[in-house]
Chain A
Amino acid sequence: MKYLPLLPLAARGSFAALLLLGAFAGCGGEGEGPPAPVPPAPATWDFGLPAGYPKPKVPADNPMSVDKVELGRRLFYDKRLSGNETQSCASCHDQKLAFTDGRAGGLGSTGEVHPRSSMSIVNVGYLSTLTWANPLITELEEQALLPLFGETPVELGLAGKEDVLLERLRKEPVYEALFPKAFPDEADPVRLENVVRAIGAFERSVISYQSAWDRYNYGGDSKALSEAQKRGKDLFFSEKLECFHCHGGFNFSDSVVHDGSTFTETMFHNTGLYNLGGTGAYPEGNRGVYEVTSVTTDMGRFRAPTLRNITLTAPYMHDGSIATLSEVLDHYAAGGRTIADGPYAGVGSTNPYKSELINGFVLTEDEKADVLAFLAALTDDALLTDPRFADPWKQDSAGGMP
């Protein structure tokens, strides 16, 4: 599942119509015949987080439950959720790569390449805005529609095949049992609205909290970090490097919301990655928040992604245009990227719309190695093999979850 800046209006209109139809369909037939037996209350969801670790904010109209998360996991890994049944959400969000795909631009089910890289879904339940640069998309359930039905570019390619999708799902015995459990109050729960609700619930459950950094910083395990990682931590949180301003807090991102938070932060930054012809422009079609607002000062502004598991999510930046973390540090050390020639030539450090926090810094090779060591401490190895987030269809064929 990748992220689109905006869907064409026509496509969005059809989504809305679908959701409305679904809502009416869900209401049909009530009040007739004998009262149905009261189903057991769905098992509530336990995020299982350590003390003091924030819980994701759960929408009131999509409460978490064990069955719903399981349904969402099934759907996430189900290739029937693409038009030609070749891809699932997991095709671009691979667990072993911290739910990214290792590509500069996501590859859609029909072969189209997305202009932006696939974002990790780890800790996505804490984000105040979704996608790389769209302040309008704030709910996972809403975002899930984009890769399913988006046409610019085609990702999962289900636009116009909504009925086909639901028919496929109705034929699957696992879903025949799971949809009613996940949505026990509905007579006909196999609806598009519930598909994205279940996927959203699963995504909200994918939380990283077991990295070496977490064991040190939250768990109070003094041995969890190496000395190099501790030195790197001090540099990372220093005013010299300024990293923490955009990649701070428990989620190493400055656009965060969670259960109990009183203030929702939504931030986007131009890091001086481009400066086409000295005008401040970014490449056409990939200009950040500007694509949504058309406000000049929004040129090149993108959301700072979480740095959790960052060593696994190469290539980097919104367009995957930097191959390694070492080169990312070089980019920030220079206060912006200089592209000497070609269509994207320009001196990023002089981009007029660049964040005032990107001013460059000097790191020795040893210091750079320490910062990289610290970033490696953000890798949550347990998450990469956690059976709760793994492909359930493969688990079925292997005899169930270990």
Chain B
Amino acid sequence: MKRIGRIVGIVSLAGAVFVGTSVGACGGETENPPATNEPDLTGVIYTGAATDEALEALLLAAPKTDAAQGVVVDTPAAGATLPKDVPPTIEWHVGGSSAAREPSAGERFVGAAKAIASFFGPREAWAHGAPVNGRAYLLVFSTPKSPELVRVFTTELSYTFDAASWTKLALTGEPVTLVVTNAIFEDNRVAQDGGPFTGEAVTFSIGP
């Protein structure tokens, strides 16, 4: 008898739980579609060990202003005019680091090699490899008429344009503004006190 009683009790409890969860699950979901706050990652170029998971985390976090943690763009300089036919290398460092100095001959050679390699095209998706640990940088290139025309997410401290992306910017005929936002990640998540930190904007032109 005890066994039968236990079975009846279990079946009753299961039924009650089922009804309860079903009612709860139905409530109010038919009127509005589920809200989504997933950022738009379309067209982002990934380099280095950057991942889309980390970028999503960066875009969902509220940016902070901290000059020591913000990025300083080394090249191009503000107000510079860059040649249209040569995809340039963008270089930067974090404000608080001691990295600002002229590149060595070897580093210039590597930059040139990257420029040549860039003609083979960008990597347009990168995910599910090693998670990002440390800093990663979102470069956003905008023109007055075309905000966020090119976006690059990278764990490196330089980026050499591919020909197609550079042409896209050059064809606008407008001045280009670059803003680099960086964050410090732990396993693709923005770390505690890890930003994101917005750097100062740099505007440059592309020659005819």
CB–CB A218/B93 < 8 A: no
Is B131's CB under 8 angstroms from A215's CB?
no
A260 within 8 A of B: yes
B157 lies within 8 A of A222 (CB): yes
- The answer to whether B192 touches A219, judged by C-beta atoms less than 8 angstroms apart, is no
Per-residue 0/1 for A228-245: is the Cβ within 8 Å of any B Cβ (1 yes, 0 no)? 000000000101000010
Determine if B133 and A249 form an interchain contact, defined as CB atoms under 8 angstroms apart.
Answer: yes
* Distance A223 CA – B69 CA, assembled complex (angstroms): 17
- The reply to whether B49 and A222 contact each other, CB–CB distance below 8 Å, is no
Provide the residues of chain A in CB contact with B97, threshold 8 Å.
215, 219-222, 224
Give the tally of cross-chain contacts (CB within 8 A).
83
Contact B133 A220 (CB under 8 A): no
Q: A52-B191, A237-B129 are in contact. Are A221 and B49 (CB under 8 A)?
A: no
B182: CB under 8 A from chain A?
Answer: yes
B53 close to A (CB within 8 Å):
no
Contacts of B187 in A (CB 8 A): 249
B91 interface hit (Cβ, 8 Å): yes
Across the interface, name the chain A residue whose C-beta is closest to B191: A52
Whether B110 and A221, one on each chain, are in contact in the complex, defined by CB atoms closer than 8 angstroms, is no
Complexed CA–CA distance, A216 and B99 (Å): 9
Q: How far is the CB of B196 from chain A (nearest CB, A)?
A: 11
Does B94 belong to the interface (CB within 8 Å)? yes
In the complex, are the beta carbons of B182 and A237 less than 8 A apart? no
| A interface secondary structure, majority | loop
Summarize B's interface: helix, strand, loop or mixed. loop
The CA-CA distance from A220 to B66 in the complex, in Å, is 14
Is there a chain A Cβ closer than 8 Å to B98's Cβ? yes
Q: Are B99 and A244 in contact (CB under 8 A)?
A: no
CB atoms of B92 and A250 under 8 A apart? no
Kindly state the separation between the CA atoms of A223 and B102 in the bound complex, as whole angstroms.
Answer: 10
Total count of chain B residues near the partner, CB < 8 A: 37
CA of A215 to CA of B91, assembled, Å? 16
Docked-complex contact A248 and B130, CB < 8 angstroms: yes
User: Which of chain B's residues has its CB closest to A249's CB?
Assistant: B133
Q: Report the Cα distance A221→B156, complex, angstroms.
A: 10
Shortest beta-carbon distance from B125 to chain A in Å:
16
CA distance in complex: A227, B101 (Å)? 16
B184 pairs with A218, CB closer than 8 A? yes
Q: Is A16 an interface residue when CB atoms closer than 8 A count as contact?
A: no
- Contact (Cβ within 8 A) B99 A250: no
A62 part of interface (Cβ distance < 8 Å): no
Q: How far is the CA of A260 from the CA of B91 in the complex (A)?
A: 33
Q: Assess whether B193 is in contact with A51, with CB atoms less than 8 Å apart.
A: yes
Bound CA span A215–B192, Å: 18
- With A and B bound together, what is the CA distance between A218 and B96 in angstroms? 11
Residues of A within 8 A of B184 (CB): 51-53, 218
The reply to whether B133 and A248 form a contact with Cβ atoms under 8 Å apart is yes
Nearest chain-B residue to A51 (Cβ)? B193
A237/B71 in contact, CB under 8 A: no
Asked if A115 CB lies within 8 Å of chain B CBs, one says no
* Residues 118-139 of B at the A interface (beta carbon under 8 Å): 129-131, 133-135
Beyond A237-B129, A248-B131, whether A221 also contacts B93 by CB under 8 A is yes
Q: Please, which residue of chain A has its CB at the minimum distance from the CB of B98?
A: A221
Interface pair A220/B182, CB less than 8 Å apart: yes
List B residues at the A interface (Cβ < 8 Å).
Answer: 49, 66, 69, 71, 74, 91-94, 96-99, 101, 106-107, 110, 129-131, 133-135, 155, 157-158, 182-187, 191-195
What 14 new A-B contacts, CB under 8 Å, besides A53-B191, A54-B186, A223-B101? A52-B191, A54-B191, A220-B93, A220-B94, A220-B182, A221-B94, A221-B97, A223-B99, A227-B106, A237-B130, A244-B130, A249-B187, A250-B133, A250-B186
